[in-house]
Structure 1
């Protein structure tokens, strides 16, 4: 269990801090969407830190296609890949998954791939390569659960063309800020009418296993340097 990843907005309005835990065995894969300034990067850092802290043997791989300053504190770390190196990162993680699948790797610890700006990464590739990369991601999403393989994708907009049929394997969908219609249709189609267009930075909605939508708030980070240190520990294991 990864503790306290989000706050329930309805409780918070009553002055009650009711946290939501992430249960990886029930909701193995996460997609986080939100425009610039929505709090998406802030939340994903918090999530990665929680994984590293509460899953003491978890190994984290980070593909940072955006390549700005948000994750530069990880420069030089194992399993950290920036910009064009993200293709190597996906392949390294996929190799690890295949080793578990064929029995070569019998370890049972959680392994996590966080890919920042998957859609932008796909758009940087030629068509043949895009299909190969999408197939790798699809296999990870559809088959990874049995091998304690977990995928976290963050991008500005959710668009089904970048995921194919595997989009249904995101068991936890988090939308921060006011989402585009495209993102709502992919992630919250059945619940669009319950989404108010008044989301501010760090607020949004979460859908678990396509069944329950919750209004959420991202908790405050009290010590960003400490969080960065914890994430480093998770990526260097």
Structure 2
């Protein structure tokens, strides 16, 4: 009997502290290399090691797989979030750069902690210096913020008011596009930059319960909203116009495929059915082991910054004594709301420039 010598690949493990570790698989041209290159290998490793895969990296001679064994240990408090002029730290080591990963899609059923996550997001956006508009179709948690100093006159509720507010946001983007074009023509010898190079502020529209709102519109209104959303998601990045769309259950009927592909920051809060996960993370359904992270805590889920892999996530903790109106009113002392520009003046400017835009009559 001839004994066969089997040569196994050399695998390395690096401890990354109390919350996770990395596994390094060799890229040395041997027979295991093709299997190691496939990131789907992280799913059986996650099950075997009781950890969540959070991404891969290509290093000279190796492919590393990153794992988190205690995602709760990375949770931040509302006051612990590190914020710059275009980045928001939403968990330790997880930073959303909204210029690099523009347009946010957020899902979560009632009781998942979606509203608290939106408070954290608004906190980050306002502190980053962005102009923020908010739509609250159900007139619940966000509607009272329109009277605070940081969001004064920029929170709308009610069908007609929301339609007008979202349409004005779109027209403001078209106006900035014309202004941006003029700035480029006036600076032909300079390198082309985005909106920030010319001293322009980022502008966000945070739209809660988008699915419920769209389902209550007339057909022509729904079509117009989808057309407007498509233009914002495709053109807004360079101009500094962004949306954060939140809903309970994402479906193909509420956001068209053309727009949906433009959302590069995605957060799914709470337990979600496979159909919902397929809409939120279409590339990760067969590769990531989505599991319930907590039975008692709110604000847990999964996030992805495309084309990165979906990973486990805990939203920033909101203090028990948190009063939204008081907090955002005090925030406005340092970050006051920018006055709303009348729609008539915006249209007058666009018409003077012969600009093309979607017509929406109310």
Q: TM-score range by the shorter chain?
A: 0.7 to 0.9
Matches within 5 A, 1:72-111: 72-75=144-147, 77-84=152-159, 85-103=161-179, 108-111=200-203
Q: Report the CA distance between 1:51 and its aligned residue.
A: 1.2
Q: Does 2:283 correspond to 1:186?
A: no
Asked if the contact 1:81–1:88 (Cα under 8 Å) also holds between the matched residues in 2, the reply is: no
Change (3 A) 1:171 1:14: closer
Structure 2 unaligned residues grouped into runs of 5+: 1-18, 21-51, 53-67, 76-91, 184-198, 339-362
Whole-angstrom distance in 1 between the partners of 2:247 and 2:72: 31
Q: Which residue of 2 aligns with 1:24?
A: 98
Whole-angstrom distance in 2 between the partners of 1:13 and 1:121: 34
Greater RCO (Cα-Cα under 8 Å, separation 6 or more): 1
Q: Which residue of 1 aligns with 2:190?
A: none
Q: Does 2:174 correspond to 1:174?
A: no
Matches within 5 A, 1:42-121: 42-53=116-127, 55-56=128-129, 58-75=130-147, 77-84=152-159, 85-103=161-179, 108-121=200-213
Asked if the contact 2:206–2:244 (Cα under 8 Å) also holds between the matched residues in 1, the reply is: yes
Change (3 A) 1:235 1:63: farther
Work out which of the residue numbers 305, 309, 328 in structure 2 matches 1:208: 305
Q: Report the CA distance between 1:161 and its aligned residue.
A: 2.0
Deviations 1:49-94 (A, max 9, x none): 11111x13x1001111121244323248222111211101101101
Q: Report the CA distance between 1:181 and its aligned residue.
A: 2.7
Q: Report the CA distance between 1:15 and its aligned residue.
A: 4.1
Whole-angstrom distance in 2 between the partners of 1:59 and 1:14: 31
Q: Which residue of 2 aligns with 1:3?
A: none
Q: Which residue of 1 aligns with 2:219?
A: 127
Work out which of the residue numbers 148, 156, 161 in structure 1 matches 2:240: 148
Q: Report the CA distance between 1:231 and its aligned residue.
A: 6.3
Deviations 1:91-139 (A, max 9, x none): 1101110111112797511100000111111111111111011100110
Q: Say what the alpha-carbon RMSD is for the aligned residues.
A: 2.6
Asked if the contact 2:143–2:156 (Cα under 8 Å) also holds between the matched residues in 1, the reply is: no
Change (3 A) 1:184 1:125: same
Q: Report the CA distance between 1:29 and its aligned residue.
A: 0.7
SS of residue paired to 2:312: strand
Q: Report the CA distance between 1:22 and its aligned residue.
A: 1.1
Whole-angstrom distance in 2 between the partners of 1:13 and 1:140: 34
Whole-angstrom distance in 2 between the partners of 1:11 and 1:173: 22
Whole-angstrom distance in 1 between the partners of 2:134 and 2:99: 21
Whole-angstrom distance in 2 between the partners of 1:43 and 1:166: 23
- Please identify the structure whose Cα radius of gyration is greater: 2
Whole-angstrom distance in 2 between the partners of 1:110 and 1:188: 27
Specify which structure has the higher proportion of helix. Answer: 1
Q: Does 2:273 correspond to 1:198?
A: no
- Compute the TM-score of the two structures, normalised by the length of structure 2: 0.58
Moved more, 196-205 or 117-126: 196-205
Whole-angstrom distance in 2 between the partners of 1:137 and 1:230: 32
- Compute the TM-score of the two structures, normalised by the length of structure 1: 0.86
Whole-angstrom distance in 2 between the partners of 1:122 and 1:33: 15
Q: Which residue of 1 aligns with 2:252?
A: 160
Change (3 A) 1:210 1:119: same
